Amino acid sequence: MGELFSKHFTLEKISQNVYAAIAKEGSGAVANAGFVDLGDKSIVFDTFNTQQASEDLNNIAERITNQPVTWVINSHWHGDHIRGNQTFKESKIISSEVTYSKMKENHPSRISKQKNDIQGLSNYIESLQDSLNKNNDSKLKDQINFLSELEKSLPTLELVLPNQSFKRELTFIGTKFSAKLFSLGGGHSYCDAILYIPEEKVIFTGDLLFVNCHPTFFEESNPDKWVEILRKVELLNFDVAIAGHGPVGTKEDFSKLINYINKLNNVVREKDNIEGIEIPSMYSYWSSPEVYHQNLKVLRESLSRLPN
């Protein structure tokens, strides 16, 4: 691939005009992204966790499409999908209205706090490096690499907010075909956006879909709504789904995730004690197994906040 290589992600050609950028472990990417060549225009979907990773994405997208990136989409407000926005200042950056307001509300203080403690981060990386010297653990190596990329990004990192927002849907028209951006509300985050390219039978889901890895639940996540959104999206005509995390997926991965969320919900509702519950065997090969028990705790806490 020559210059089309990045240490942050693996580039996969999904169809004639759609490319996925699948995050590598321990890189500056963290989440997946990708781009679409509409002919006379192009779209980048999500911008990774650092500007180092998003610069690679921009360079590769420009080389393959032979044009500057026209539109950039932020699927939701979480940092690993938007912190590379500064690479695309010349493009039209688009998100839902909710995502825009959450980015504006939450990221300035987070970023300034991290910028003010680069020394603390350096010290922490050093302590992990000491542990790695004593015990050559690949997970620890990935964590050090990820934190080093974060440390490298901080001095020049700036928050770049979307400069266009949409409520429910937006259509992008190119000379080859069109793409549709839409949101059915919030499932994983306060508001999750999806990009659908009907002619290519491809969909970008952001973090509504995790493939072969445990999905992350937050206080803001709404499991019932999440399942409802997945069921609706599953009805669309597509063959390939580019998830927020994990490898490229298919419709089957929607069913797996719906099943996972429902099972998790049942465990939390039926068991008084969620400590020490074993991960169901069908998910034992999924990556990030530690997330399973975190998810149980998050769901238990959200249930306890519901009125009796």
For position 307, what pLDDT does the model report? 62
Q: Of 54, 57, 108, 61, whose CA–CA distance to 82 is shortest?
A: 54
Give the rounded distance of the alpha carbon of 274 from its chain centre: 28
Kindly list the structural domains of the chain, giving each domain's residue range(s) and its CATH number in brackets, ordered by start: 2-103+159-251 (3.60.15.10)
CA distances in angstroms from 6 to 9, 58, 94, 243, 265, listed in the order given = 6, 11, 25, 19, 39
**Residues 194-223 pLDDT 10s:** 999 999 999 999 999 999 999 999 999 999
pTM of the model: 0.96
- Calculate helix-pair angle for 97-115, 118-134, nearest 10 degrees: 80
Mean pLDDT of the residues in the chain: 96
Query: Does position 308 have pLDDT exceeding 90, yes or no?
Result: no
Which pLDDT band, with edges at 50, 70 and 90, does 275 fall under?
Answer: confident
Backbone angles phi, psi at 270, to 5 degrees: -95, -30
Q: Of 49, 80, 64, 87, whose CA–CA distance to 1 is shortest?
A: 64
The 10 Å Cβ neighbour count of residue 200 is 19
| Contact assessment for residue 205 and residue 241, using Cβ atoms and an 8 Å cutoff | yes
Q: Tell me the residue type at 206.
A: G
Residue 249 gets which letter from DSSP? Answer: B
Query: Does position 93 have pLDDT exceeding 50, yes or no?
Result: yes
**Residues 29-80 pLDDT 10s:** 999 999 999 999 999 999 999 999 999 999 999 999 999 999 999 999 999 9
Buried-state track 229-264, b at ≥16 Cβ within 10 A, e below 16: bbeebbeeebebbbbbbbbbbebebbebbbebbeeb
| Contact assessment for residue 44 and residue 51, using Cβ atoms and an 8 Å cutoff | no
* HSE-CB of 200 using CA atoms within 13 angstroms: 25
Which pLDDT band, with edges at 50, 70 and 90, does 242 fall under?
Answer: very high
**Residues 110-128 pLDDT 10s:** 999 999 999 999 999 999 9
The 10 Å Cβ neighbour count of residue 121 is 16
Distance CA 49, CA 87 (A): 12
CA distances in angstroms from 68 to 19, 34, 38, 53, 240, listed in the order given = 16, 15, 12, 17, 25
Residue 281 gets which letter from DSSP? Answer: G
For position 3, what pLDDT does the model report? 64
Copy the structure tokens of residue 277: 């519950």
Q: What is the mean pLDDT of residues 147-160?
A: 98
Q: Of 128, 121, 111, 116, whose CA–CA distance to 149 is shortest?
A: 121
For position 272, what pLDDT does the model report? 84
Backbone angles phi, psi at 75, to 5 degrees: -65, -40
Query: Does position 282 have pLDDT exceeding 80, yes or no?
Result: yes
Query: Does position 192 have pLDDT exceeding 70, yes or no?
Result: yes
Backbone angles phi, psi at 206, to 5 degrees: 60, -150
